[in-house]
Amino acid sequence: MSFRAVESDLDPRAAVLDVTLPAGRGWTHELAPGDLFRIVDLEGNQAVDTLFFNSKNLEERYSATETIRGQKNIYLTAGTALMSSEGRPLLTIVADTCGRHDTLGGACSAESNQVRYEIGKKYMHSCRDSFLLALARYGRGMTKRDLPANINFFMNVPVTPKGELTFADGVSGAGRYVEMRAETDVLVLISNCPQLNNPCNAYNPTPVRLLVWRRG
């Protein structure tokens, strides 16, 4: 797969939802089939940990395995179908001005903070905490058991020739975005990453902008 910028013709003034999400905060929203959903990296190099679920059947959720197998590439970009655990497309990336998004790096947690960095970092805020707090507000009884491997939009996680993951400076920039079309009823779950210990967001977590357009 070659990485290329694909721009959208949607006007933000026509969006039915326009939210700025601070760094470290979680967020949920339900999309209907055909809705267009855009994540904007406002200041550049921010990592946006994201999961998708079938909102009518929460046991069906985004599958990194099915998505990677379907496109034969570990990175996401325009044209990628985000596949579910049932082998069905949940969303399709229809526009992307960053060109590359991570599927393997996972979400930071209290446990990974102390293992990767030092034991004193254990209680720093993490994406898994943000996911769980957002799910608690959503109110349908979802727990950490419902969190599969997530997407890290805008995050740069190169894979070495030995198959090891490395966390590097981002490939995004201020104002770059990724836009998706919902192919079914979708629950969006986001943690806008608060990570201060690796360069995934330039050691400076920043807000992102979230927009939704309704088609039809």
The pLDDT of residue 194 is above 90: no
Is the residue at 4 inside a domain? Answer: no
Q: How many CB atoms lie within 10 A of CB 119?
A: 9
Total domains present in the chain: 1
Sorting pLDDT into bands at 50, 70 and 90, what band is 1? very low
Stretch among 51-60, 104-113, 185-194 having the lowest mean pLDDT: 104-113
Is the residue at 9 inside a domain? Answer: no
From CA 173, how far away is CA 44, in angstroms rounded? 4
pTM over 0.85: yes
| pLDDT tens digit sequence for 89-110 | 999 999 999 988 988 766 665 4
From CA 49, how far away is CA 150, in angstroms rounded? 6
What is the span of the domain harbouring residue 129?
Answer: 21-213
